[in-house]
Amino acid sequence: MERTPSALIITLLTDFGSTDYFVGSVKGVILSINPHVTIVDLTHEVASFSVAEAAFLLHSTYPYFPKGSIHVAVVDPGVGSDRRPLLVHAGGFYFLAPDNGILSYVFRDIPNYQCVELTETKFHLPARGNSFHARDVFAPVAAWLSRGTPIGQFGRGSHHPTTIPLPAPRHTDNALEGEVIYIDRFGNLITNITKNDVDHCGPRDQLTITIGDARCRGISRCYADGSQDAPSTIVNSSGHLEIFFYEGNAAHHLHAKIGIYVTVTGR
């Protein structure tokens, strides 16, 4: 059995917040096993228990890391129940996560993946309660993996991991109807309508984007081209259509929430 080439980077994506002892102890466990690995926080501020939000954030971040990086993504209300802890090897990356759909975008984007259930408890911390697998299961496995332990040693092959529905925009007669899937710290409204979808709707300056009662003509090239008093749109840095106010908070101005519909109409 060949050794996995050792990894330099472990990333963490959780809903643990940064006020408690959770993240610190996860890092302590990792560094106790591999003090030379670089740990990167993607974010720990996922809305509590929101698997869908975590899935989107992981999707928007992991491809920017070097191949071989280990991504630990834990939003895990089912911790300690019969939900399985997984290790997935896909597209040159490793993912450690509970089997609850947090890897749904990964499975969609990389159909060929290898999946292992973390059944080999010799790689876990001696049990102390059953409520913190990030520290007791995922952290030590990530650290041993970063030291080159082959993935097959962590457990048995696993199939049919859980996925959550990833809402896709719907085509109607003369429009494309999507929805807001994420709101960032600036209040920008990120939709599930991609650059590709937009390109199929027609020339950008002839598109009309409708959200609630508001209507925007054309798509801005950059934020500074938008208005401070009315919504504008942009194809943003993650390749999604986004509604924004220049130097303002679109979510507040439009009273918008995740799930609100957004329609793109050509001429």
> What are all long-range contacts of 77-84, with beta carbons under 8 Å and residues at least 24 apart?
77/49, 79/130, 79/131, 79/132, 79/133, 80/130, 80/131, 80/133, 83/162, 84/117, 84/118, 84/158
Q: What is the DSSP string of 84-132?
A: PEEEEEETTEEEEEESSSTTHHHHHH---EEEEE---GGGSPPPS-SS-
Q: Which is nearer to a copy of itself, 107 or 132 (CB)?
A: 132
Torsions phi, psi of 133, nearest 5? -70, -25
Least Å from the CB of residue 224 to a copy of itself: 4
Give me the least distance between CB of 241 and a copy of itself, in Å please. 11
Euclidean distance between CA atoms 242 and 183, whole angstroms = 9
Binding segment toward a copy of itself, per CB under 8 A, in 12-20, 101-109, 160-168, 252-260? 12-20
- Closest contact distance (angstroms) between CB of 201 and a copy of itself is 17
Q: Under rule CB under 8 A, which residues in 13-52 are in contact with a copy of itself?
A: 13, 16-25, 27-29, 31-32, 35, 38-46, 48-49
Per-residue contact string for residues 168-187; x = within reach of a copy of itself by CB under 8 A: ----------------xxx-
Q: Is 170 helix (H, G, I), strand (E, B) or coil?
A: strand
User: What gap in Å lies between CA 5 and CA 93, rounded to an integer?
Assistant: 12
Rounded Cα distance between 244 and 256, Å, is 11
- Only segment of 142-150, 204-212, 245-253, 256-264 that touches a copy of itself (CB under 8 A): 245-253
Q: How far is the CB of 152 from a copy of itself (least distance, A)?
A: 26
Q: Which of residues 126-155 bind a copy of itself (CB under 8 A)?
A: 128-132, 135-136
Interface characters, 202-221, with a copy of itself (x: CB under 8 A): -------------------x
- Chain centroid, CA 234 distance in Å: 21
Nearer to a copy of itself, 80 or 202 (CB): 80
Q: Which of 6, 61, 194, 265 binds a copy of itself (CB under 8 A)?
A: 61
Q: Which of residues 67-106 bind a copy of itself (CB under 8 A)?
A: 69, 77-81, 83
Number of residues that bind a copy of itself (CB under 8 A): 71
Secondary structure of the chain: what % helix, strand, coil (to 5)?
A: 25, 30, 45
CA dihedral 150, 154, 155, 161 (to 10 degrees): -90
Q: Which region among 123-131, 145-153, 156-164, 259-267 touches a copy of itself (by CB under 8 A)?
A: 123-131
Q: Which is nearer to a copy of itself, 79 or 256 (CB)?
A: 79
Of the listed pieces 6-14, 146-154, 156-164, 252-260, which binds a copy of itself according to CB under 8 A? 6-14
State how far the Cα of 86 lies from the Cα of 103, in Å rounded to an integer.
10
